[in-house]
Chain A
């Protein structure tokens, strides 16, 4: 005896068929998201590769500059050639030697900032005297501007800003060597002393000659 004598199996079979279609729909909806996610992973990966390249190239550039500041003009093409060949248009390289990111903001806000910028000034002065105006700290900032693309999809078209990846590296200029610095300027001080002595001598002579005339010479009693 059947509980539902009029029940027919055919419509149910149709339901099963729909169930199969649903899976396809779910897949159709989910797959692009998954693909986007995979693109996102690649994208993030690219981002970090770019970040690392900027880090390493900034270090390369600043150390090179610190070795020989005369290379200032050569460092940028060098970085482009060694690290960003084919992507030169996306790279901006700044010479940030002697820019002090902390002093500007800290000098006004706290005592350690003041102290620090004060000591920096002294150190910078010492450096300037002995490097013939060379920088104290050499720095290179490399900025990579990437198009926001997820695989084939250009997100710029929907108003996403370009991505900037920037790294800076600072190092002190390599030591003053006799070739690059005019160390004998120090000896200029010595010569100034000698000249001063000559001058003092001349002044003394003038004083002796210009002495007051006495009224009358007399024998010592």
Chain B
């Protein structure tokens, strides 16, 4: 022991190189601190970056889900606008039919002429009235085609109903597409922010950076056909937002005042034929009211009122499922179909045939084959000078569609001698081939206003949508040490590799009213809660509840914020 103390004292007494040792120790310590500073800094900034990536990733994913809801909302609103157009067009057509037609105009003419019998003021009234009637006639001609076109669009199985079906189909596509885009975008944003998805499907090859798949349990539609947030609505939902109090209502849609007053621009629509801008920017009601208010005072009901009544009636009828206005009406059809042009079948009002006649060489009309055109001996019309007399006609129907008929006629001319006796009978045979161009006929058809049997159904929010409006994302990133004083081959990069996980949650919400006619869906980060981790991915919702619960519990254990 004494020796030890002596040695110790000797060492202390020998102060040569003493400072060097101290400095070396201190320097080593400081170097350690330096490395420590670098590594801690690296890890901290790495983790900040990682958390930023997680937040941005989940926000971006949730945003695309919100956009999906907005898209569905837009299309739902589109369906209400279609329905409003249907009601409007039907009412317009009906008003035109009942108030602005030739009978009414003729009636007004008669009344105007009768006016002229009134002494003194009569002729002046009559001429003013007639001038207005001329305007009405012009309006009748101008509005007529528009009214017919509107009716075509709005009738059962018309373009507007088909458009509604298309919008519905698009909605159904969007509810599948939005979560997929969300998944993709969420992963891309994670990659942009220098982090990866937890499940990495990428080929870890050279230069391959893209397309990781991130663990982002989104409510992808399962077997039920709708995404968990969404349920299938009914036609009544469209009605409610079209004509009811739930939406803007047809009152706004049905007024085309936009070009004049800037109001009621629900559709931003611009109908060329409706540009009658006298007496103050007119709506359709205004146009009718103007024409009839001035032209037909007291003779027929005011069309502005008639239109409003029809709008109400059609709205109630279509949305209420009533068929009271579903009476058949007569329409004129144009066709080239042979069978439809049969006068025995329809009331043919007009027809056009192409006729070709030639003289033929035949003595047996019944046996003549109409299809053989080489039987013509000369192109000649049937005789009509009276010299010949038609004695027989045979008709062959050559083909059904397009209608082709072959009419064979036998003409005879008696040759008489001076005494007037018939000495010979000259016979001529003619063939006429008639090809149908078209025919018009009137038909009573069901042009009813009730919607097609398969009514369009919008997608609506499920009652428990909030349970599925929360999204979780987990991202990973290598946040190992930047510098190592242990490992020799650090190369300055991640000497000790170690990845960290970060997770974040976001939710989709609607700051105004939560329904799928409101295009105000947004996404926001939310405080992380284990209970909100939703593993309803794909068909996982259908797993037995025991397994699902275990998975959920497991996730809660593993994922630590």
Residues of A in contact with B (beta carbons under 8 Å apart) = 19-20, 22-24, 26-27, 30-31, 33-34, 37-38, 40-41, 44-45, 47-48, 51-52, 55-56, 59, 62-63, 101-102, 105-106, 109-110, 112-113, 115-116, 119-120, 123, 126, 130, 137, 139, 167-178, 183-184, 186-188, 190-191, 193-194, 197-198, 201-202, 205, 208, 211-212, 214-218, 220-221
Question: Would A201 and B17 count as touching, CB distance under 8 A?
Answer: no
Inter-subunit contact A115/B211 (CB<8 Å): yes
Chain B residue numbers with a CB within 8 Å of A175 are: 63, 66-67, 70, 521-523
A-B CB contact pairs (8 Å), 8 listed: A106-B209, A130-B70, A183-B70, A183-B519, A186-B74, A187-B77, A191-B269, A218-B355
Supposing A48-B44, A172-B59, A172-B185 touch, asked if A22 and B16 sit within 8 A by C-beta, the answer is yes
Known: A27-B23, A33-B27. A170 touches B193 (CB 8 A): yes
Would B41 and A212 count as touching, CB distance under 8 A? no
Identify the closest chain B residue to A23 (Cβ): B19
Question: Closest CB-CB distance, B36 to chain A, in whole Å?
Answer: 9
CB neighbours (8 Å) of B203 from chain A are 112
In angstroms, Cα B153 to Cα A125, docked, is 31
Bound complex: CA of A218 vs CA of B382, how far in Å? 12
Name the residue on B nearest A55 (C-beta): B48
CB distance from A194 to the nearest CB of B (A): 7
Q: Which residue of B lies closest to A202 (CB)?
A: B145
- B contact residues around A208 at 8 Å (CB): 334
Q: Which residue of chain A has the shortest Cβ distance to B194 in the bound complex? A: A168
Given contacts A20-B15, A41-B34, 5 further A-B contacts (CB under 8 A): A27-B19, A34-B23, A55-B52, A176-B519, A190-B81
Nearest CB on B from A166, distance (A)? 12
Alpha-carbon gap, A32 to B41, bound state (A) = 25
Contact B19 A30 (CB under 8 A): yes
Min Cβ gap A23→B in Å is 4
| 8 shortest interchain CB distances as A-B pairs | A48-B41, A30-B23, A26-B19, A172-B60, A116-B210, A170-B192, A171-B56, A175-B66
Task: Write the B255-274 contact mask toward A (1 if CB under 8 angstroms, else 0).
Answer: 00000000000111110100
Q: Are B181 and A123 in contact (CB under 8 A)?
A: yes
B380 contacts partner chain A, Cβ-Cβ < 8 Å: no
Contact with A along B330-361 (1 / 0, CB 8 A): 00001000000001000000011111100000
Contacts of B37 in A (CB 8 A): 41, 44-45, 48
B59 contacts which of A110, A139, A171 (Cβ < 8 Å)? Answer: A171
- B190 — nearest CB in chain A belongs to which residue? A170
Residue of B nearest to A181 (CB): B519
Closest to A191 in B: B269
- With contact pairs A44-B38, A112-B211, A191-B268 given, residues A173 and B63 touching in the complex (Cβ less than 8 Å): yes
Give bound CA distance, A221 to B45, whole Å.
Answer: 96
Contact A123 B184 (CB under 8 A): yes
Q: CB distance A113 to B17 under 8 Å?
A: no
What residues of A have a CB within 8 angstroms of the CB of B207 in the complex? 105-106, 109-110, 113
Shortest distance from the beta carbon of B259 to any chain A beta carbon, whole Å = 13
Q: How close is B509's CB to chain A, nearest CB, in angstroms? A: 10
Q: Is B432 an interface residue (CB 8 A)?
A: yes
CA distance A101 to B188 in the complex (A): 11
Bound form: Cα–Cα A123–B523 in Å: 18
Q: Once bound together, how far apart are the Cα atoms of A23 and B12, in whole Å?
A: 13
Give the most central of B74, B181, B269: most A CB within 10 Å: B74
Judged by a CB distance under 8 angstroms, whether B407 is at the interface is: yes
- Chain B residues with a Cβ closer than 8 Å to the other chain, count: 92
Min C-beta distance of B63 to chain A, whole Å: 5
- The answer to whether A193 and B17 touch across the interface, beta carbons within 8 angstroms, is no
A residues within 8 A CB of B522?
A: 174-175, 177
Cα distance A176–B72 when bound, in Å?
A: 12
Q: Once the chains bind, are B189 and A137 in contact (CB under 8 Å)?
A: yes
Decide if A197 touches B149 in the complex (CB within 8 Å).
yes
**Contacting pair A186 B78 (CB below 8 A):** yes
Q: Which residues of A contact B393 (CB under 8 A)?
A: 221
Digit string of B232-267 for contact with A (CB within 8 Å is 1, else 0)? 000000000000000000000000000000000011
A41, B56: Cα distance in complex, Å: 32
Q: Are the CB atoms of B19 and A110 closer together than 8 Å?
A: no
Q: Are A214 and B352 in contact (CB under 8 A)?
A: yes
**A22 to chain B: which residues have CB within 8 Å?**
16-17, 19
- Using known A-B contacts A52-B44, A102-B191, determine if residue A193 contacts B56 with beta carbons closer than 8 Å: no
Residue of A nearest to B42 (CB): A48
Q: With A30-B20, A174-B522, A191-B267 in contact, is A37–B355 under 8 Å at CB?
A: no
- Contact yes or no, B355 A26, CB < 8 A: no
A26 to B159: give the CA distance in the assembly, Å: 96
- Taking CB atoms, residues of chain B closer than 8 Å to A137 are 60, 189, 192
Chain B proximity of A144: nearest CB distance (Å): 13
CB distance from A40 to the nearest CB of B (A): 6
A184 close to B267 (CB less than 8 A): yes
Contact with A along B282-326 (1 / 0, CB 8 A): 000000000000000000000000000000000000000000000
Known: A102-B210, A212-B437. A26 touches B63 (CB 8 A): no
Considering the chains assembled together, what is the distance between the CA atoms of A42 and B355 in angstroms? 106
Q: How far is the CB of A163 from chain B (nearest CB, A)?
A: 14
Residue of A nearest to B38 (CB): A44
Q: Does B33 contact A (CB under 8 A)?
A: yes
The answer, among B23, B74, B145, B343, for a CB contact under 8 Å with A220, is B343
Contacts of A33 in B (CB 8 A): 23, 27
> Which single member of A47, A112, A171, A215 contacts B60 (CB below 8 Å)?
A171
Asked whether any CB of chain A lies closer than 8 Å to the CB of B388, the reply is no
Assembled-state Cα–Cα distance A198/B48 (Å): 60
Does B515 have its Cβ within 8 Å of any Cβ on chain A?
no
A47 and B41 contact, CB distance less than 8 A:
yes
In Å, the complex CA distance between A147 and B343 comes to 100
Chain A residue, CB-CB nearest to B267: A187
In the complex, whether B82 has a CB less than 8 A from a CB of chain A is yes
Does B210 contact A218, Cβ atoms closer than 8 Å? no
User: Which residues between 163 and 208 of chain B lie within 8 Å of chain A, taking CB atoms?
Assistant: 163, 181, 184-185, 188-189, 191-193, 202-203, 205, 207-208
List, in ascending order, chain A residues with CB within 8 A of B395's CB. 221
Q: Is the CB of B210 within 8 A of A113?
A: yes
| Distance from A36 Cβ to chain B, minimum over Cβ atoms (Å) | 10
- For the complex, what is the distance from the CA of A176 to the CA of B191, rounded to whole Å? 23
Q: How far is the CA of A38 from the CA of B33 in the complex (A)?
A: 9
Closest B-chain residue to A116, C-beta based? Answer: B210
Contact of A112 among B15, B210, B434, B438 (CB under 8 A): B210
Q: Are B17 and A26 in contact (CB under 8 A)?
A: yes
Least distance between B198 CB and chain A CB atoms (Å) = 18
For residue B18, which residue of chain A has the nearest CB? A23
**Are B355 and A197 touching (Cβ within 8 A)?**
no
**B16–A176 CB distance below 8 A:** no
